A and B are shown apart, each in its own frame.
Chain A
Amino acid sequence: MLAYSIRRLIALIPVLIGMSLIVFGIIRAIPGDPALAILGQKATPEALKQLRHALGLDKPWYTQYFSFITDLLKGDFGTSLRTHAAIRQEIWPHLAATIELSVLAMLIAVVVGVNLGILSAWKQNSVIDVASMVIALVGVSMPVFWLGLMAQWIFSIKLGWLPSIGRENIRDPVTAITNFYIIDTLLAGRIDQFWEIIRHLILPSLALATIPMAIIARMTRSSMLEVLRSDYIRTARAKGQKMFWVVYKHALKNAFIPVLTVIGLQTGLLLGGAILTETIFGWPGIGSYIYDAIQYRDYPVIQSGILLVAFIFVIINLIIDLLYAAFDPRIKYK
């Protein structure tokens, strides 16, 4: 298992190199002069020329790529062209904000999605089945943008239950320590603030959870249906086991493998794809950080940001692969 993990980690190196090349290439293929994007409409030609030189844009691409990679290996993410601040320091609060949101969203998606899937497979063709699959279908096809705005309108403006934007009560800000506000408020011993943070998390995490939840529910259902028809389930039933335990103990174990794959992919997608949710809920996450950078052609930020997200994506999938063995003892890694 350990040897396998190490081998997999080593195999990540070519993947990451390939990724960095793609990211690097795509960014440079986008039309538009970064110098102009940074300095804006009012830039003088001399200023543009100076900036292009300062950015190394007048050098050949391979020189630019090489210096980018060597800096990265030294742990230097570079400096933002726009804010002149070190990306390594700038990026962390955004990443933490996104992780906090995605973890909660994924938790909701998995818990609700898996149970919804199980329930509809168990009671196939019943009202519950039809209802939950309709919910899942609507969930998959619902534009997050619209869903988010509607949720704000109903739960914040009309009902006044929940805050509509941000991570915290702006008038009572959290002192950032780890930048995971759930943890920071507990460290500071501020239970009232902790509840505020949870309240702020509810709407965006539900909005973010909708699509993965629906996908997970549909996946669980189909995989569960297949397993429920197998012989060993009939045997378990014949022994007089309660259906609940048959489903959750015997069937789920086998049905969960394909669901796990989907969960892994969706988690990765959430990290980078939370941008719409972040925009609507004024959530200062990694998605909006990279999106802003794209608008300003902030090359170093785009490159480092995308690579970081890609790296996390790959790591999550590695973890999922290792989890397969935990679920299914027949799978052994050597």
Chain B
Amino acid sequence: MKKWLFGLVAMVLMLSIVLTGCSSSSNGEQGKKSNSNGNGGNVLIFGRGADATSLDPAIVTDGESFAVTKNIYDTLVEYKGQTTDIEPALAESWDISPDGKTYTFHLRKGVKFHDGTDFNADAVVFNFDRWKNANDENKFAYYPSMFGGFGDKSVIADVKALDDYTVQFTLRTPLAPFLKDLAMSPFAIASPTAIKKYGDKYGQAAAVGTGPFKFKEWKSKDTITLVKNDDYWKKGEPQLDGVIFKVIPDNTARLNALKNGEIDLMDGVNPSDLKDIQGNKDLQIFYRPPMNVGYLGMTVTKKPFDNPLVRQAVNYAVDKKAIIDAFFAGAADPAKNPMPPSISGYNDDVQPYDYNPEKAKELLKKAGFPNGFKTELWAMPNPRPYMPEPSKIAVAIAHNLKDIGIDAEIKTFEWTTYLDKVKKGEAPMYMLGWTGDNGDADNFLYTLLSTDAIGSNNNSFYSNPELDKLLKEAQTLTDENKRNELYKQAQVIIHNDAPWVPLVHSKPALVGKSTIKGFAPHPTGSDRYVGVYFEK
């Protein structure tokens, strides 16, 4: 016993020496070290709220995974700058047959995967065959959702190598957004050798592409380390020696780490912190161009929302500007269409329903509800990219509705329960949103409001045959101008039928050190650190 006690006392002494020793020696000197990037020099550390699930982009659906894979892999074509227009990447050029069913890609020569194997037509064919023949929708989720299914159900009938550097895709029917689909992260080209070598472990133990950075290490729920690919095909890129993704779940703690110089760039900023950041000369704010919509949906199969006049009245009742000022700290644009302006085919001529409670009351009276009615307003339980504080926004909307006589009781459920019930059409009015996948109008209008989408993403159960016809036709055209014309008409129909109140297109903020140059966040939410550097 005596020995035990002696040990304890000794431990106290040792511990206190250790504690005082290291805190005094580190005083100042260490703090500076971390600010000056220490020995990691030219490496960018990105702080974020959650970890990736896998680094095989073909099998994931979450943004945190794509944020990493976007830097490891290339796609055949890629999005240009901050738009969703298409430019060459692994394919230098392509030809489209007049019927829109055959795409011939001419591939870039001399490109190598990070494992040293050659990128060529066979690699492209291998990747597409892997997805197409997977027949496992749990694992390969994006392929069937963008191309209509696996195997014989897929729009892609055949992918074949004409020679080492030419690949031909044959489609069953013309697919207008085909090129935009190919630019999506899930359709990045991975090394066939690595996929065969690692089997089920691919994406965890290894991730091999042709991209600007190579995968080095993954510490689960902690860091993912990428290092510069010296042989990257874009000359002079990347300028950074590496990128590290660090998980820090709490928004405030993440900002603390940024201010302390432990990370260089972060997403998930509390809107309330933006003001403080604006006054900090060591930091800068980047706004991601919106590719989303946050909306208030009305289930048109439920009374009284089966009446378009009631739905229009609700549209006139909501004060979007007040909501944006109060809850988005200005980091959002008011929405008037179900898709954001960054997407081609956006109809800017649609006249928004202004905030006009008098007009709303009039419409309600016309619809046969001079004294309003009682209903439920469902609010999401947790923040989403397109809506930072759903419960507070719900209170604001309920208040707006009260002004015109609609008594809406706010209800909320745990997130998966919420989605489940909303999908089943149990909510009279509900808040939800959508973030675009490929930057195409089809991915908003058809996916969210066509009759085919009832049961998956058309939670308002809205159905208009005229709209369906336009949307289906637009899917088959390859002429961009003609397509855009159809989408513009579609937006007018939706505007008049008013199944939603389109609320906002949020522009999520990122914060970084003021020395970061050349960073332009992309609307898709996954960024490439090409052209990015630290100012000396």
Residue from the list B62, B137, B221 in contact with A44, Cβ < 8 A: B137
* B518 shortest CB reach to chain A, Å: 21
User: A171 touching B417 by the CB < 8 A rule?
Assistant: no
User: A284 touching B221 by the CB < 8 A rule?
Assistant: yes
Q: Mark B194-226, 1 if CB is under 8 A from A, else 0.
A: 000000110110000000000001011111010
Chain B residues whose CB sits within 8 angstroms of the CB of A108 once the complex forms: 15
Question: When chains A and B are docked, how far (Å) is the Cα of A171 from the Cα of B30?
Answer: 13
Q: Mark A315-333, 1 if CB is under 8 A from B, else 0.
A: 0000000000011000000
Among the 9-residue stretches B4-12, B86-94, B310-318, the one with 4 or more Cβ atoms under 8 Å from chain A is B4-12
Q: A199-B26, A280-B250, A282-B249 are in contact. Are A166 and B262 (CB under 8 A)?
A: yes
Q: A107-B11, A195-B22 are in contact. Are A164 and B256 (CB under 8 A)?
A: yes
Query: A289 on the interface (CB 8 Å rule)?
Result: yes
In chain B, positions 477-536 with a C-beta closer than 8 Å to chain A are none
Q: Mark B22-57, 1 if CB is under 8 A from A, else 0.
A: 110111101110100111100101010011011000
Q: Mark A11-39, 1 if CB is under 8 A from B, else 0.
A: 00000000000000000001111101111
In chain A, positions 58-110 with a C-beta closer than 8 Å to chain B are 82-85, 90, 93-94, 107-108
Residue from the list B2, B30, B220, B253 in contact with A281, Cβ < 8 A: B253
Query: A226 on the interface (CB 8 Å rule)?
Result: no
User: B456 touching A31 by the CB < 8 A rule?
Assistant: no
Q: A47-B141, A149-B256, A163-B262 are in contact. Are A292 and B221 (CB under 8 A)?
A: yes
Question: When chains A and B are docked, how far (Å) is the Cα of A82 from the Cα of B31?
Answer: 38
User: A249 touching B2 by the CB < 8 A rule?
Assistant: yes
User: B420 touching A292 by the CB < 8 A rule?
Assistant: no
Query: B270 on the interface (CB 8 Å rule)?
Result: no
User: A40 touching B61 by the CB < 8 A rule?
Assistant: yes
Query: B252 on the interface (CB 8 Å rule)?
Result: yes
Which has the most chain B C-beta neighbours within 10 Å: A156, A173, A249, A282?
A: A282
Which has the most chain A C-beta neighbours within 10 Å: B5, B31, B50, B219?
A: B219
User: A173 touching B262 by the CB < 8 A rule?
Assistant: no
Q: Which residue of A lies closest to B34 (CB)?
A: A163
* A136 shortest CB reach to chain B, Å: 18
Q: Mark A271-301, 1 if CB is under 8 A from B, else 0.
A: 0000000111110100011001000010000
Query: B320 on the interface (CB 8 Å rule)?
Result: no
Residue from the list A33, A51, A172 in contact with B38, Cβ < 8 A: A172
User: B138 touching A161 by the CB < 8 A rule?
Assistant: no
In chain A, positions 139-182 with a C-beta closer than 8 Å to chain B are 148-149, 152-153, 156-157, 159-167, 169-173, 176
User: A54 touching B138 by the CB < 8 A rule?
Assistant: yes
Question: When chains A and B are docked, how far (Å) is the Cα of A47 from the Cα of B263?
Answer: 38
Residue from the list A54, A157, A176 in contact with B260, Cβ < 8 A: A157
* A155 shortest CB reach to chain B, Å: 9
* B5 shortest CB reach to chain A, Å: 7
Question: When chains A and B are docked, how far (Å) is the Cα of A303 from the Cα of B59?
Answer: 24
Question: When chains A and B are docked, how far (Å) is the Cα of A33 from the Cα of B413?
Answer: 13
User: A252 touching B5 by the CB < 8 A rule?
Assistant: yes
* B406 shortest CB reach to chain A, Å: 27
Query: B182 on the interface (CB 8 Å rule)?
Result: no
Chain A residues whose CB sits within 8 angstroms of the CB of B217 once the complex forms: 173
User: B27 touching A161 by the CB < 8 A rule?
Assistant: yes
In chain A, positions 103-144 with a C-beta closer than 8 Å to chain B are 107-108, 111, 115
Q: Which residue of A lies closest to B259 (CB)?
A: A157
Among the 9-residue stretches B240-248, B294-302, B341-349, B371-379, the one with 4 or more Cβ atoms under 8 Å from chain A is B240-248
User: B223 touching A40 by the CB < 8 A rule?
Assistant: no
In chain B, positions 51-72 with a C-beta closer than 8 Å to chain A are 51, 53-54, 59, 61-62
Q: Mark B126-143, 1 if CB is under 8 A from A, else 0.
A: 000000000011110100
Q: A41-B419, A161-B23 are in contact. Are A149 and B252 (CB under 8 A)?
A: yes
Question: When chains A and B are docked, how far (Å) is the Cα of A54 from the Cα of B413?
Answer: 26
Question: When chains A and B are docked, how far (Å) is the Cα of A111 from the Cα of B456?
Answer: 58
Question: When chains A and B are docked, how far (Å) is the Cα of A282 from the Cα of B255?
Answer: 12
Question: When chains A and B are docked, how far (Å) is the Cα of A30 from the Cα of B39?
Answer: 47
In chain B, positions 244-278 with a C-beta closer than 8 Å to chain A are 244, 246-250, 252-254, 256-257, 259-260, 262-263
User: B416 touching A171 by the CB < 8 A rule?
Assistant: no
Question: When chains A and B are docked, how far (Å) is the Cα of A37 from the Cα of B51?
Answer: 16
* A282 shortest CB reach to chain B, Å: 4
User: A39 touching B30 by the CB < 8 A rule?
Assistant: no
Question: When chains A and B are docked, how far (Å) is the Cα of A319 from the Cα of B5?
Answer: 18
Question: When chains A and B are docked, how far (Å) is the Cα of A54 from the Cα of B137?
Answer: 11
Question: When chains A and B are docked, how far (Å) is the Cα of A327 from the Cα of B5?
Answer: 11
Query: A202 on the interface (CB 8 Å rule)?
Result: yes
Chain A residues whose CB sits within 8 angstroms of the CB of B416 once the complex forms: 31-34, 36-37, 297
Q: A37-B416, A84-B59, A90-B220 are in contact. Are A46 and B137 (CB under 8 A)?
A: yes
* A222 shortest CB reach to chain B, Å: 20
Q: Which residue of A lies closest to B453 (CB)?
A: A44
Query: A232 on the interface (CB 8 Å rule)?
Result: no
Chain B residues whose CB sits within 8 angstroms of the CB of A4 once the complex forms: none
Query: B457 on the interface (CB 8 Å rule)?
Result: yes
Q: Which residue of A lies closest to B139 (CB)?
A: A84
Which has the most chain B C-beta neighbours within 10 Å: A82, A90, A111?
A: A111
Chain A residues whose CB sits within 8 angstroms of the CB of B5 once the complex forms: 248-249, 252
* A20 shortest CB reach to chain B, Å: 24
Query: A43 on the interface (CB 8 Å rule)?
Result: yes
User: B420 touching A149 by the CB < 8 A rule?
Assistant: no
Chain A residues whose CB sits within 8 angstroms of the CB of B144 once the complex forms: 44, 47
Residue from the list B139, B244, B253, B456 in contact with A282, Cβ < 8 A: B253
Query: B466 on the interface (CB 8 Å rule)?
Result: no
Query: B455 on the interface (CB 8 Å rule)?
Result: yes
Query: A253 on the interface (CB 8 Å rule)?
Result: yes
User: A157 touching B246 by the CB < 8 A rule?
Assistant: no
Question: When chains A and B are docked, how far (Å) is the Cα of A220 from the Cα of B505?
Answer: 58
Chain A residues whose CB sits within 8 angstroms of the CB of B54 once the complex forms: 83-84
User: A282 touching B247 by the CB < 8 A rule?
Assistant: yes
Chain A residues whose CB sits within 8 angstroms of the CB of B413 once the complex forms: 31
User: A170 touching B40 by the CB < 8 A rule?
Assistant: yes
Q: Which residue of A lies closest to B423 (CB)?
A: A36
In chain B, positions 74-117 with a C-beta closer than 8 Å to chain A are none
Q: Mark B413-455, 1 if CB is under 8 A from A, else 0.
A: 1111101100000000000001001000000000000000001
Chain A residues whose CB sits within 8 angstroms of the CB of B43 once the complex forms: 171
Which has the most chain A C-beta neighbours within 10 Å: B43, B61, B257, B455?
A: B257
User: A164 touching B260 by the CB < 8 A rule?
Assistant: yes
User: B200 touching A84 by the CB < 8 A rule?
Assistant: yes
Query: A246 on the interface (CB 8 Å rule)?
Result: no
Chain B residues whose CB sits within 8 angstroms of the CB of A43 once the complex forms: 141, 456
User: A93 touching B53 by the CB < 8 A rule?
Assistant: no
Question: When chains A and B are docked, how far (Å) is the Cα of A40 from the Cα of B456?
Answer: 11
User: B40 touching A172 by the CB < 8 A rule?
Assistant: yes
Q: A47-B138, A282-B246 are in contact. Are A170 and B223 (CB under 8 A)?
A: yes
Chain A residues whose CB sits within 8 angstroms of the CB of B252 once the complex forms: 149
Question: When chains A and B are docked, how far (Å) is the Cα of A31 from the Cα of B414?
Answer: 8
Chain A residues whose CB sits within 8 angstroms of the CB of B250 once the complex forms: 149, 279-280, 282
Residue from the list B8, B225, B256, B420 in contact with A156, Cβ < 8 A: B256
Question: When chains A and B are docked, how far (Å) is the Cα of A111 from the Cα of B419?
Answer: 49
Q: Given A32-B417, A173-B217, list of 6 further CB < 8 A pairs? A: A38-B138, A50-B136, A202-B23, A282-B254, A289-B220, A326-B4
Q: Can you list 22 A-B contacts (CB < 8 A)?
A: A32-B416, A33-B416, A37-B416, A84-B200, A111-B12, A156-B257, A160-B31, A163-B262, A164-B257, A164-B260, A165-B262, A169-B34, A170-B40, A173-B225, A176-B219, A198-B22, A199-B23, A279-B249, A284-B220, A288-B221, A326-B1, A327-B1
User: Which 3 A-B pairs rank lowest in CB-CB distance, beginning with the nearest?
Assistant: A171-B40, A160-B31, A32-B416
